Structure 1
Amino acid sequence: MTDKETSKKPARKKAAPKSGAKKPAAKKRAAKAKSASKGSSGIGRRIWSISWKLGLILFVGVLSYGIYLDQVIARKFEGQKWHLPAQVFSRSMALYPGAAVSHGQLIAELKLLGYRKVANPRQVGEFSASKTRVDLWRRPFLHPQGTQAEQRVMITFDQQGVSSVARNSDNRQLAVFHLEPVLLDRIITGDGEDRLFVPTAKMPQSIIDSLILVEDRSFYEHHGVNPFAIIRAALVNISAGRTVQGGSTLTQQLAKNFFLSSERSLVRKIREALMAIIIDFRYEKDEILEAYLNEVYMGQDKARGVHGMGLASQFYFGRPIAELTLPQQAFLVAVIKGPSYYNPWRYPERAASRRDLVLRLLMEDGKLNVQQYTAAVESPLGLRSADKPVHQKLPAFFAVVQHELNRRFGDSLLKQSGIKVYTTLDPMAQEAAEKAVKKTMARLGKNDKTLQVGMVVTDKYSAGIAAMVGDKVPSYKGYNRAVEIRRPIGSLIKPFVYATALNQPAKYTLATPLKDQPITLNNGQGKTWSPKNVDKKFRGEVPLLTAFKRSINVPTVNLGMEMGVSSVATTLDKSGWRGKISEYPSMLLGAVNGSPLMVAQVYQTIADNGRYRRLSSVTAVLDMENNPLPVARVEQNQALNPSSTYLVQYAMTQVVKSGTASRLGKAFPYATLAGKTGTSNDSRDSWFAGFDERNVAAIWVGRDDNGKTGLYGSSGAMAVYQDFLGTRPPISLRRPLISGVVNGHFDKTTGVAKESGCENSIALPALEASYHPARNCGEPLSWWQKLTGG
């Protein structure tokens, strides 16, 4: 076939594909693509469906949880943020012309209150002193009678006590001037947290500046959480390989302290951050700051957690926060980082270094200049003495306070938040009583380790319990012998025997002779009783005053029997004795069981010129809003004749001057004191009761098992009182003649009233109504005297 022919041969045509048909490979690829598209679209829709539903659930959950947290926070912030412990205060020292307070005692009180002695007071909390004057700039404080403003006064003294109180600003004489009471303790009934609330307005500005500078510089800019601080802290901690910096704001710290535990977990941190945001949204920055300043943990006082700057100031420095120096304020901010780690008593160098860092930050921020910074870092920490307790251990007294509060206000009072209890305790008297008990009992206990003691001191003017000790270890919380014992009071009953007699001036005076002869009496139960004198001697007759001051038994019994045992029992009962009185003759020598508190009650009546006032330990109670709770007036009445009581007081001064308590008189010859010793049978109980111008004291020394001690009233209980006055020097009794009493003169032998200047006579106070001295010393009148009537 030729080429031409070949070229003419028609070419083979490819079969055209049928309409809609595809190649198999392409078809498969398309199918796969379509299938994948449908699958991814379905998964996406499912993921989206699940995601938005989960998101919605999470949103609702977070919103619900946020609402719940918001309610929790609102209840805390808008209700009662803290249960504030009940504050228990001492008495408020009253100064006025004639007050029985010595120059030394005022200075001791000021030092106890944390006042600073300076050459010239320039600010609140300072005083200066000369030999007869004290220039004082008093702090403002809350008194039961109302808020007392700060005030500067000049207090002048003489030998009798306070002679004048004048206001420095205008030299105006003040009728009465009060010092703030000592905060004795705070009664914690809940979680063991202790705090003293101080509003931000009363916080030193330097503390606020330091706190924000050190703990949260952007406090006023962030909204509860500072993300930049968290990132910065994380980087620093990663670089250091350990936790060296925190990123929490003050608001977060507050949220943790208020609502959360100290557990370290992501969940807790998230919750903390959420609460901080809510707190910041709901409340002003200043309110958050105030809550933080009063909530922050500042240290540990044994079993009590110290919370808040106000209490920390007292805990570390023993004075109000407003009176702290700049370095002391800086320390309070410094210690927040780690109260245990920076404990200034255990690690003073570490604490000082941390304080100095705070001071340096203040300088770098322009809050201090270089000179101020240098002076501050060179100053000591200025801590309170470690042996000076923040709260007083007063188990015996606090037991009486709690009993009285329950009786007068109900047992739920102390569970209320923020109440303030003002008591009658005199801190200086309490300190003197405790020192006397420790010193005397250590000496007496060398021969008998089982000896115990109970002691009560009252304020003669207020009838308040000024001091109380219930054990030879005053801080021991247990059996309170000052209140709970019931032991025979021995010769301490004798003043009431003689008070009964001297109230019958037509029959008895201090000079009346009494029989000192053997006597046998029937006790009404078929048994006889023959009292004896301690020296086993009988003198025939002795003057009433001699029988009293030498505590001679038989004349006392004869006197009591002449008047009737029931009459003496009535006198004792009127004086405030609230125990059982068995009206048998032996009662006249003290077969009456009582406690030091019961004895103090009746001797308070004698010291107060026969006026009975029920002893108390609480003067006022204020609620959280500082409103006084209503109380009934203290029971009182004129129980004994003031004139005859004056004679008993005189007789008690002679006991100290030349009677059974003469050793006490020799120890304090410059002071007129009144006292009475007492000893029960077989020297089982040693008693003493006495008073100076300010305080009445009743003391018992004995054994819990009622064993013999070998001690008399003068060698046991009186020794405690003597040591008490050694620490708290007595103020001499002021004994001007009162209405109805005159200076009389009596025959030493017969007791007959005579004119002054007569031979063999003695000067003694007497009741005016019955004092009729024999004219001419009892000698017959001459014709001239009869003629002239003289």
Structure 2
Amino acid sequence: MTDKATPKPKKTTKRPAVKRVSAGKGGKKRATKKSPQKSGWGRKIWSITWKLGVIAAVVIAAYGIYLDQIIARKFEGQKWHLPAQVFSRSMALYPGAAVSHGQLMSELKLLGYRKVANPRQVGEFSASKTKIDLWRRPFLHPKGDQTEQRVMITFDSNGISSVARSSDQRQLAVFHLEPVLLDRIITGDGEDRLFVAADKMPQAIIDALILVEDRSFYEHHGVNPFAILRAAMVNISAGRTVQGGSTLTQQLAKNFFLSSERSLTRKLREALMAIIIDFRYEKNEILEAYLNEVYMGQDKARGVHGMGLASQFYFGRPIGELTLPQQAFLVAVIKGPSYYNPWRYEERAQKRRDLVLRLLMEAGELNVAQYEAAVESPLGLRKSDKPVHQKLPAFFAVVKRELSTRYGEALLQQSGIKVYTTLDPMAQEAAEKAVKQTLKQLGKNDESLQVGMVLTDKYSAGIAAMVGDKVPSYQGFNRAVEIRRPIGSLIKPFVYATALNQPKKYTLATPLKDEPITLKNGQGKTWSPQNVDRKFRGQVPLLTAFKKSMNVPTVNLGMAIGVSSVATTLDKAGWKDKVPEYPSMLLGAVNGSPLMVAQVFQTVADNGRYRHLNSVTTVLDENNQPLVASKRAATQAIPVASNYLVKYAMTQVVDNGTAKRLGNAFPRATLAGKTGTSNDSRDSWFAGFDERNVAAIWVGRDDNGKTGLYGSSGAMAVYQAFLKNRPPLSLRMAPVDGTVQGYFDRNSGAAKQADCGNVIKVPALRESYQPVANCGEPLPWWKKLIGG
């Protein structure tokens, strides 16, 4: 048995206690002991603190880099999605233009020009009975920038006689007014704005903004600690929040990137972003972003952002034309657009504006006299019933459809595009008034009556106006485009155009049978057309049958020339849908819409030339470069000479035919028209034109019920009211090549000489007018002896 080894005791090494030597009495040093526990905790706290500090610094730096990337993407990319701007046509003024003095005055009023005794700046004009002195604004035109320019426009009975540049009296070939901004198409967040570059912003707005919102804007680095401390003290003493300490840069950071949440975290993030923004960007760039981002009010569902749009929203004119008090108001309203709503709280809004004016005076930006004059001025707001954007649901629906078809569906998602349309604001206003007035009157007997109306510009083949409901602002069913109803006698001009293109057989004097006729359709069913008065006259001249809208002679004529030939003419003239080739088609058993009717009558008004109706002329991208789009070529659908005869016949409809009431209302104007009524008076139609506009109008019921209206008592009444609102320009009916003045026997339709008896005088194709000698009577024996 062996003994167990005894373990050796472990050696421990003791650290000698640290002695701190201190001086005692007599200068002798004495050592003191430091507590080992206290020294260890100190080192631990310090170690944790500096490590946490490093971590915090890394996190803040990383977070700062993250925020910096967000900020850079916003500032250096697309700051905003700018809504597509939609403009009206640009009114062209030139010698001979069919624009009256009153029409130009109305256009200038719509554009927000100010009438003064003597124009002193852009946006002003003066007027006498025959002249208008106009200082036009600069604007972006599809064909290039137009500079500001002052001109003298002179008028005569036919319209504009001259346009002279005021600087050197040079006569201008053409002069454009800026188009009306109709609307901006909002596609995303409901924010609406009109971008204005900083160098285009009035200096008084910038000065006032800095005075009111951030006096140290050019000195601080995004955050102003002194302003924050001052605001905190004021709020504590008041017991509520009465003052904010945010800089313009902080406000911009909140508007661009953050919510309106009230929390310390959000405020810290806002401050950090403001510092980054201030470090990265110039003060003027920050200021420009703020001036275009700041919330300025609410236009129903649209948020009004930026000074540019606010100027239009509150005053109805460009920001560069605002008076000093108006500029001060824009800065004043930033504090609370709802609280200082000038239409609801006028006194409150004016006091706030006057405070801004006083601050400008105290800063030396205004003298006492300027200040006193400014505070005495009214707010000068636009009338609350005058909309900032036009309510044109029917027209805008057509514009959107055309943009999608010609430019692609993604176009409206692009930022900053500018869409120039064909809409004539004056024609639209007159059309809407006519619809409201007439349907109110007609609706006394039938409240279910509805309307669809399309107006085109005869010269450009553009849609000048459109109404799709008796309440023009209604955004539902668009009857101008979407209905398909029998067009009745509106088809007759194309029946007669087809016949008159056969000059060897037909003239305006050719007699047509007006006798009972029975026809069979493809199913063996019989059809016996009747005249409206259910009478038969044996035969009538072609022109009489046309202007009295007689059914039986028209059917006889159509059957003689062929239903398919009439369908071909209608198709070439631009009819959208396939035409049913049945005899009943000759009396309008063809379904169409006002837009389709406007298309084919535009062809007649335009000397037989077919041009596809359009609503969009040009689209510019965000860099103001035109986008390429598809375009249809024009064709000669109806020969010019025979088309002229149809136009003449349509003037006779107004002169002494079914539209005689219209002619009596405007005896000094030559107008062309055609009435139409479907079976049982379910649909009332009218199509016609003056020298400027082509109109197509339908009045009826959505349930296809009987209305008791004829074309002349329903749709034509709307057109007549339209011309009262927008006086007509008389048609210029100069004869065209290939036509002559003809004289024809009233009974036989034979060509005669002018001095023959019982003749009618009508235009004719040259090849159809070969008058016989001696009025067609045999020569006396003595004339035969001498050879006639």
Please, which of 484, 509, 533 is the counterpart of residue 531 of structure 2?
Answer: 533
Q: Contact 2:314 / 2:382 at 8 angstroms: preserved in 1? A: yes
Q: Which amino acid aligns with 1:314?
A: Q
Q: Which amino acid aligns with 1:275?
A: M
188-197 vs 152-161, which deviates more?
152-161
Q: How many pairs were matched up?
A: 758
SS in structure 2 opposite 1:336? helix
CA distance in structure 2 between the aligned counterparts of 1:634 and 1:329, rounded to whole angstroms: 47
Q: Which amino acid aligns with 1:632?
A: S
User: Structure 1 residues 636 and 787 mapped into 2: Cα distance closer, same or farther (>3 Å)?
Assistant: farther
1:512 equivalent in structure 2: 510
1:366 equivalent in structure 2: 364
Please, which of 680, 697, 717 is the counterpart of residue 719 of structure 1?
Answer: 717
CA displacement, residues 683-711 of structure 1 (integer Å, 9 cap, x when unaligned): 11110000010000101111111111111
Deviation (angstroms), 1:779: 3.8
Please, which of 307, 311, 314 is the counterpart of residue 312 of structure 2?
Answer: 314
Deviation (angstroms), 1:633: 2.8
1:766 equivalent in structure 2: 764
Say if 2:686 is the partner of 1:683.
no
Q: Which amino acid aligns with 1:205?
A: Q
Q: Which amino acid aligns with 1:436?
A: A
Q: Contact 2:684 / 2:710 at 8 angstroms: preserved in 1? A: yes
Deviation (angstroms), 1:744: 1.8
Deviation (angstroms), 1:530: 0.7
Say if 2:596 is the partner of 1:591.
no
- Which TM-score applies when normalising by structure 2? 0.94
Q: Contact 1:580 / 1:593 at 8 angstroms: preserved in 2? A: no
Deviation (angstroms), 1:758: 2.8
Q: Which amino acid aligns with 1:72?
A: I
Say if 2:159 is the partner of 1:126.
no
2:20 equivalent in structure 1: none
Deviation (angstroms), 1:669: 1.1
1:612 equivalent in structure 2: 610
2:450 equivalent in structure 1: 452
Please, which of 270, 275, 296 is the counterpart of residue 294 of structure 2?
Answer: 296
Deviation (angstroms), 1:769: 2.5
User: Structure 1 residues 789 and 108 mapped into 2: Cα distance closer, same or farther (>3 Å)?
Assistant: farther
Q: Which amino acid aligns with 1:161?
A: G
What do you get for the CA RMSD once the two structures are aligned? Answer: 1.4
Deviation (angstroms), 1:100: 1.8
Q: Contact 2:402 / 2:616 at 8 angstroms: preserved in 1? A: yes
Please, which of 34, 37, 40 is the counterpart of residue 35 of structure 2?
Answer: 37
776-785 vs 446-455, which deviates more?
776-785
Please, which of 638, 641, 645 is the counterpart of residue 643 of structure 2?
Answer: 645
CA displacement, residues 94-124 of structure 1 (integer Å, 9 cap, x when unaligned): 1112222211111111100101111111111
Question: For the pair shown, which has the larger CA radius of gyration, 1 or 2?
Answer: 1
User: Structure 1 residues 522 and 274 mapped into 2: Cα distance closer, same or farther (>3 Å)?
Assistant: same
2:207 equivalent in structure 1: 209
Say if 2:247 is the partner of 1:252.
no
459-468 vs 760-769, which deviates more?
760-769
CA distance in structure 1 between the aligned counterparts of 2:369 and 2:784, rounded to whole angstroms: 97
2:7 equivalent in structure 1: none
SS in structure 2 opposite 1:197? coil
CA distance in structure 1 between the aligned counterparts of 2:479 and 2:782, rounded to whole angstroms: 69
Q: Which amino acid aligns with 1:484?
A: E
User: Structure 1 residues 789 and 624 mapped into 2: Cα distance closer, same or farther (>3 Å)?
Assistant: farther
1:423 equivalent in structure 2: 421
Q: Which amino acid aligns with 2:671?
A: L
CA distance in structure 1 between the aligned counterparts of 2:672 and 2:274, rounded to whole angstroms: 67
Q: Which amino acid aligns with 2:162?
A: S
1:659 equivalent in structure 2: 657
756-765 vs 55-64, which deviates more?
756-765
What residue ranges of structure 2 are gaps of 5+ in the alignment? 1-30
Q: Contact 2:507 / 2:768 at 8 angstroms: preserved in 1? A: no
Alignment of 1:352-391 (within 5 A): 352-391=350-389
CA distance in structure 2 between the aligned counterparts of 1:591 and 1:89, rounded to whole angstroms: 38
CA distance in structure 2 between the aligned counterparts of 1:198 and 1:450, rounded to whole angstroms: 47
Say if 2:226 is the partner of 1:228.
yes
CA distance in structure 1 between the aligned counterparts of 2:262 and 2:701, rounded to whole angstroms: 57
SS in structure 2 opposite 1:745? strand
SS in structure 2 opposite 1:725? helix
CA distance in structure 1 between the aligned counterparts of 2:43 and 2:732, rounded to whole angstroms: 103
User: Structure 1 residues 785 and 51 mapped into 2: Cα distance closer, same or farther (>3 Å)?
Assistant: farther
Q: Contact 1:661 / 1:676 at 8 angstroms: preserved in 2? A: yes
Deviation (angstroms), 1:635: 2.8
Deviation (angstroms), 1:787: 7.6
CA distance in structure 2 between the aligned counterparts of 1:299 and 1:747, rounded to whole angstroms: 74
1:697 equivalent in structure 2: 695
What residue ranges of structure 1 are gaps of 5+ in the alignment? 1-32
1:6 equivalent in structure 2: none
Deviation (angstroms), 1:36: 6.0
User: Structure 1 residues 241 and 786 mapped into 2: Cα distance closer, same or farther (>3 Å)?
Assistant: farther
SS in structure 2 opposite 1:128? strand
Say if 2:104 is the partner of 1:106.
yes
CA distance in structure 2 between the aligned counterparts of 1:620 and 1:784, rounded to whole angstroms: 74
Say if 2:300 is the partner of 1:329.
no
Please, which of 61, 64, 70 is the counterpart of residue 62 of structure 2?
Answer: 64
Q: Which amino acid aligns with 2:635?
A: N
2:465 equivalent in structure 1: 467
Deviation (angstroms), 1:580: 2.0
CA displacement, residues 67-87 of structure 1 (integer Å, 9 cap, x when unaligned): 111111111111110010111
SS in structure 1 opposite 2:47? helix
Q: Which amino acid aligns with 1:652?
A: M
CA displacement, residues 140-185 of structure 1 (integer Å, 9 cap, x when unaligned): 1111111111111111222222222221111212121111111111
CA distance in structure 2 between the aligned counterparts of 1:788 and 1:618, rounded to whole angstroms: 70
CA distance in structure 1 between the aligned counterparts of 2:131 and 2:536, rounded to whole angstroms: 55
CA distance in structure 1 between the aligned counterparts of 2:412 and 2:500, rounded to whole angstroms: 47
Q: Which amino acid aligns with 2:460?
A: S
Deviation (angstroms), 1:782: 5.0
1:404 equivalent in structure 2: 402
CA distance in structure 2 between the aligned counterparts of 1:739 and 1:785, rounded to whole angstroms: 36
1:218 equivalent in structure 2: 216
1:159 equivalent in structure 2: 157
1:17 equivalent in structure 2: none
CA distance in structure 1 between the aligned counterparts of 2:781 and 2:372, rounded to whole angstroms: 99
CA distance in structure 2 between the aligned counterparts of 1:585 and 1:326, rounded to whole angstroms: 71
- Which TM-score applies when normalising by structure 1? 0.94
CA distance in structure 2 between the aligned counterparts of 1:700 and 1:281, rounded to whole angstroms: 64
1:345 equivalent in structure 2: 343
Deviation (angstroms), 1:524: 2.5
495-504 vs 750-759, which deviates more?
750-759
User: Structure 1 residues 228 and 698 mapped into 2: Cα distance closer, same or farther (>3 Å)?
Assistant: same
Deviation (angstroms), 1:629: 0.4
User: Structure 1 residues 450 and 204 mapped into 2: Cα distance closer, same or farther (>3 Å)?
Assistant: same
Deviation (angstroms), 1:34: 7.3
CA distance in structure 2 between the aligned counterparts of 1:589 and 1:484, rounded to whole angstroms: 22
SS in structure 1 opposite 2:480? helix
1:30 equivalent in structure 2: none
1:50 equivalent in structure 2: 48
Deviation (angstroms), 1:777: 3.2
Please, which of 124, 143, 146 is the counterpart of residue 144 of structure 2?
Answer: 146
CA distance in structure 1 between the aligned counterparts of 2:717 and 2:592, rounded to whole angstroms: 20
CA distance in structure 2 between the aligned counterparts of 1:371 and 1:315, rounded to whole angstroms: 29
CA distance in structure 1 between the aligned counterparts of 2:726 and 2:782, rounded to whole angstroms: 60
Alignment of 1:461-610 (within 5 A): 461-610=459-608
CA distance in structure 2 between the aligned counterparts of 1:139 and 1:483, rounded to whole angstroms: 36
CA distance in structure 2 between the aligned counterparts of 1:646 and 1:123, rounded to whole angstroms: 48
Q: What percent of counterpart residues are identical? A: 82
CA distance in structure 1 between the aligned counterparts of 2:502 and 2:284, rounded to whole angstroms: 74
CA distance in structure 2 between the aligned counterparts of 1:784 and 1:374, rounded to whole angstroms: 104
Q: Contact 1:580 / 1:592 at 8 angstroms: preserved in 2? A: no
Please, which of 668, 675, 680 is the counterpart of residue 666 of structure 2?
Answer: 668
CA distance in structure 1 between the aligned counterparts of 2:785 and 2:129, rounded to whole angstroms: 62
1:753 equivalent in structure 2: 751
Deviation (angstroms), 1:778: 3.2
CA displacement, residues 26-73 of structure 1 (integer Å, 9 cap, x when unaligned): xxxxxxx97862122111111101110111111111111111111111
SS in structure 1 opposite 2:771? coil
